Amino acid sequence: MTEYVPTIGLEIHVQLQTKTKMFCGCELSFGDEPNIHTCPTCLGLPGALPVVNQRAIEYAIRIGLALGCEIAPRSLFHRKNYFYPDNPKAYQISQYDVPICGAGRLGDVRIHRAHVEEDAAKLIHSGAGSGRIHDAQRSVVDFNRAGTPLVEIVTEPDVHSPEQAREWLTLLRETLRALDVSDVDMSQGSLRCDANVSVAPKGATELGTKTELKNMNSFAFLEKGVRAEIDRQVSLLEAGGRVTQETLHYDPSSGELTSLRSKEEAHDYRYFPEPDMPALVVTEAQRQAIAAALPELPSDRAARFEREYGLAAERAHELAFNRPLGEYYEAAVSGAKHPVAVANWLASLVERIGSEVDPSDSKVTPAAFGALVALVEEKQISRDAGRTVLDKLVAAGGEPQAIVEAEGLGAISASDGGLDEIVAAAIANDPDAAEKVRGGNNKAMGPLVGYVMKQTKGRADGGEVGRLIRQHLGV
Ligand code: ADP
Ligand code: ZN
Ligand code: MG
């Protein structure tokens, strides 16, 4: 059987979170009553003129710079002509041959370009039926979304598996999130992704014919849809067939791929320069000011976490790519002597509050959290006691030191005397295990340590208990 290599190129639409629309002063807002944020411009009434939203341009430049794109000093708006009820002008103002952002790169995927454009209105379909229009089956249009600023990012075909597509899109989303330019919520449509998919026999010098999967609205669906399409194409080729260029819809509930239309070409859109808009000029001073104000990006933050706090690469990545978690970590770690331990304990906190919850919304303040880790690391309390304190902090907040005192959770150590007796009792209680440990069987330590922990209600330090047992047994 021939081995096939899949190739994927992504086209991502990002809704910008500006106060007003791309070419008019209407408010951008979601979930409002339909058709209240409209004006002659975004309704496409004849004679209304567009004026570019400078904030949207600033956001687009921010995105371009974060993706390492060249920023065009002068780019052009074009009209992309098509008829559809969500598009009252019968054209969309977009960019064509001279986009604002040129070639760039994010991670292991090259960016082909990124341009600004306006979103269409929202169509809401209701009723199902025979296909004939009757009362129960109709579509209505909400123009509140019409004219929302979008940035469309187009990648080079550098992705070669469904997993890589998903991972890279996560990298892109977190990078965009750091820029504070968009909600980047796939389920709300503020981040939308189309995937171009092809397969070619391994070693082939040319890419295969691609199809386009439209509008995957979650990371899981993107991965699944791309996988289904790769499988479909491979089966088709194996059966001696050919892939035809077309646009497909993936239904995640049935796993089915259905053809929406044969692929349209650029010339179908009759692109021509937008006569109502001057060229879009970005001065060098403007570009530099935006570059200087760029926030730290997640990948840079991950590298800093490794460097500054000595975290392992994977842990650093985990914290840096989850903004609330990373911010909480830095607040907790500030001035703390045990950054690696703080990161490890943070995993326990997340386990308790759930990974969807921003830890700063929990009852555990970063300061209390850092103090708890310090108590454990400095052996003021045992690891087990630390977990108990964490449970109490999660349930009711408070200060770890006060909880330790109120609950009598302070560590018992050899110097407290009592521990020696408990160790002796453990050995007397399980002579078999004691004999095995004497004989060099380390596993037999388990029940002995367990006994001590039970007697001390977990307040003794595991390492110290081990040392004491060996000392008692003379090994
Ligand atoms: P079109 O002219 O059909 O729009 P483009 O060359 O503009 O195609 O590319 C659109 C998107 O498709 C880009 O993300 C690009 O990386 C991707 N792409 C192009 N060719 C292929 C291919 N053979 N297989 C997979 N993706 C591809
Ligand atoms: Zn308007
Ligand atoms: Mg294209």
* CB contact at 8 A, 61 and 287: yes
- What pTM did the predictor assign? 0.82
In short, whether 11's Cβ falls inside 6 Å of ligand 1 is: yes
Residues 122 and 264 in one domain: yes
In short, whether 15's Cβ falls inside 6 Å of ligand 1 is: no
Ligand nearest to the CA of 207: 1
* CB contact at 8 A, 168 and 76: no
What integer is the mean pLDDT of 91-101?
97
Instruction: Spell out the alpha helix ranges (H) of 310-442.
Output: 313-320, 323-333, 339-353, 366-377, 383-396, 400-407, 418-429, 431-438
Side by side, which strands form the sheet with 149-155? Answer: 104-106, 109-118, 149-155, 4-15, 191-201, 211-216, 246-251, 256-262
Q: Which domain holds residue 357?
A: 298-407
Residues 103 and 175 in one domain: yes
Residues 285 and 381 in one domain: no
Residues 457 and 318 in one domain: no
Q: What is the pLDDT of residues 55-67, one digit of tens each?
A: 999 999 999 999 9
Side chain identity at residue 14, one-letter code? V
Shortest-distance Cα residue to atom 14 of ligand 1: 9
Q: H or E segment at 368? A: helix 366-377
Shortest-distance Cα residue to atom 1 of ligand 1: 265
Q: Residue 265 — pLDDT band, cuts 50, 70, 90?
A: confident
* CB contact at 8 A, 442 and 458: no
Per-residue DSSP letter, 127: -
| Single residue among 367, 386, 407 that ends a domain in this structure | 407
Residues 319 and 441 in one domain: no
Q: What is the domain count for the chain?
A: 3
Supply the pLDDT for residue 456: 84
Which ligand 1 atom is the nearest neighbour of the CA of 197?
A: 25
Q: What DSSP string describes 160-193?
A: -SHHHHHHHHHHHHHHHHHHTS----GGGTSEEE
Mutate which of 210, 212, 237, 242 for ligand 1 pocket (most atoms within 8 A of beta carbon): 210
Q: Could you tell me which residues come within 8 angstroms of residue 251 by beta carbon, excluding any fewer than 6 positions away?
A: 257, 258
Residues 20 and 75 in one domain: yes
Shortest-distance Cα residue to atom 11 of ligand 1: 9
Residues 22 and 163 in one domain: yes
In short, whether 233's Cβ falls inside 6 Å of ligand 1 is: no
Residues 358 and 421 in one domain: no
Q: Would you state the structure tokens that stand for residue 134, as one six-digit string?
A: 């009757």
CA distance 301 to 157: 27
List the one residue out of 471, 381, 376 whose CA is nearest residue 426. Answer: 471
In short, whether 210's Cβ falls inside 6 Å of ligand 1 is: yes
Residues 257 and 302 in one domain: no
List the one residue out of 171, 169, 153, 232 whose CA is nearest residue 197. Answer: 232
Please identify which residue in the block is written with the tokens 């956001």: 59
Per-residue DSSP letter, 130: S
Torsion sign over Cα 32, 35, 40, 42: positive
In short, whether 157's Cβ falls inside 6 Å of ligand 1 is: yes
pLDDT over 90 (residue 453)? no
> How far out from the chain centre does Cα 76 lie?
32
Please identify which residue in the block is written with the tokens 């386009």: 212
Domain of residue 462, CATH code: 1.10.10.410
Supply the pLDDT for residue 132: 56
Residues 431 and 402 in one domain: no
Residues 284 and 419 in one domain: no
List the one residue out of 99, 94, 103 whose CA is nearest residue 67. Answer: 103
Q: What DSSP string describes 11-65?
A: EEEEE---SB-SSS-PBP-SSSPTT-S--TTTTT-TT------HHHHHHHHHHHH
Which ligand 1 atom is the nearest neighbour of the CA of 158?
A: 16
pLDDT over 90 (residue 461)? no
Q: Could you tell me which residues come within 8 angstroms of residue 278 by beta carbon, excluding any fewer than 6 positions away?
A: none
Q: What percent of the chain has pLDDT over 90?
A: 79
CA distance 438 to 369: 40
* CB contact at 8 A, 426 and 469: yes
CA distance 311 to 320: 11
Q: H or E segment at 418? A: helix 418-429
| Lowest mean pLDDT, pick from 41-55, 82-96, 102-116, 458-472 | 458-472
* CB contact at 8 A, 297 and 175: yes
Ligand nearest to the CA of 11: 1
| Single residue among 290, 313, 330 that ends a domain in this structure | 290
Residues 332 and 211 in one domain: no
N- to C-terminal Cα separation, the chain? 62
Q: Residue 182 — pLDDT band, cuts 50, 70, 90?
A: very high
| Single residue among 407, 423, 440 that ends a domain in this structure | 407
Supply the pLDDT for residue 348: 95
Shortest-distance Cα residue to atom 15 of ligand 1: 9
Residue-averaged pLDDT of the chain: 93
In short, whether 71's Cβ falls inside 6 Å of ligand 1 is: no
> What angle (nearest 5°) sits at the alpha carbon of residue 294, between those of residues 347 and 283?
165
Q: What is the pLDDT of residues 123-133, one digit of tens each?
A: 998 865 555 55
CA distance 141 to 98: 32
Which ligand 1 atom is the nearest neighbour of the CA of 154?
A: 14
Q: Would you state the structure tokens that stand for residue 189, as one six-digit string?
A: 């449509």
